[in-house]
Amino acid sequence: MGQDGAIYTRVLGKKRLSTKGNYIVTLQDKLMGNVIETVTTIKNGHIGIEPIIVPNKVFMDAETGIYYILAREDNKKEIKQLSAKAGCGYLYPAKQPNGKFLPVAYFKGKEVKMPRVLLNECGIPFHVVDDLVAYGAVCDRAKGHLKAQKIACVYLLPSKPGDVIATVVNGVQEHTTVIENGEVKVQNPGGESYKMKEKKLRKSYEYAETTAEGYELWKPKNELKTWVKSEVNIICILWGGFEVLVTPLICIDDPDDTYGCNYQVFYGSDTMEPTYQVRQVFLPVNAITLQPEIRSVLEDGHVRSLESIPKPDYVEAPDLILLSSLLRSA
């Protein structure tokens, strides 16, 4: 249903349409994973344009009220000019000498204090995580971890170095990044696209078949990955671009390849199949969650130091707790 109350039928752009009736013309199929911010509508033979809001492009600092746009290395100049014209700031993933990235904020041409909590266009708060590896370690020490196996296949999509990938889940933009040499574009069955090292694709997946549309389908191997759960929504830097995640699961196996997964994508929902299946749950023997420093990290996402947070021993959880995890208990 459109804003005018009319009922529209979604069709592909190549389909021949009648002059009677209302249609939304989709110009790209879902498998290509493109972000469509406007669609062509045909209402009783009259062509129009309708906008589609894709959140997580403009954020407001919850403390100062300053608005920020997310930038990347490839579009920093463009975003800098746009933010100056709009009277807002921009956030940029600055590469450090050690190869890691840190988020920095600019407003009115000057670097300013990085916000700790950002509100998206819908007013949803996201806590800024400077170091996803350290944050994942704190979540592990406080709440434990789980071992999960990926069960969803991935499509290998056409790509080349320089291509921009937008990851969209349930109409919400999570991440944008750029394909580099040695990387490929893949997509989960739920529709979210992302980049992956080609070496990782061949290590963790095996070719299954080529679909009728010409896309390669790759099946995951029987690998168990270690995951922790975030209690808050976070915004962090992943693969050179900002990633915006709602109470995500974070894979902590490899410090050089730590990444998050949307809660619904991980466990599945009413509209999508699960991507992972939990096999084991491990809990810390001595719970340290209530320590003030731990609570602070879990609530705001900012890790000040790992040295003061002891690393506990873990015990495998009984089947009842594993069952509750499988049933998506937080």
**Least confident among 14-18, 193-197, 272-276:** 14-18
Residue 32's pLDDT band, with cuts at 50, 70 and 90, is very low
Residue 45: pLDDT above 70?
Answer: no
Average of per-residue pLDDT values in the chain? 80
Question: Which of 3-7, 22-26, 265-269, 318-322 ranks highest by mean pLDDT?
Answer: 265-269
Backbone angles phi, psi at 294, to 5 degrees: -65, -45
DSSP H stretches of helix in the chain: 76-86, 132-143, 198-204, 263-267, 292-300, 319-326
Residue closest to 150 by CA, chosen among 227, 245, 232, 234: 227
d(CA 168, CA 244): 10
Domains of the chain: which residue ranges? 9-51, 58-123, 132-326
Nearest to 181 by CA among 165, 197, 167: 197
Q: Collapse the DSSP code of 33 into the 3-class scheme (helix H, G, I; strand E, B; otherwise coil) and give the result.
A: coil
What's the pLDDT at 276? 94
Predicted TM-score of the model (pTM): 0.77
152-177, pLDDT tens digit by residue? 999 999 899 999 888 877 767 788 88
Rounded Cα distance, 62 and 114, in Å: 12
What pLDDT is recorded for position 107? 95
Instruction: Tell which wins on pLDDT, 64 or 311.
Output: 64
Q: What is the pLDDT of residues 101-118, one digit of tens each?
A: 899 999 998 999 999 999
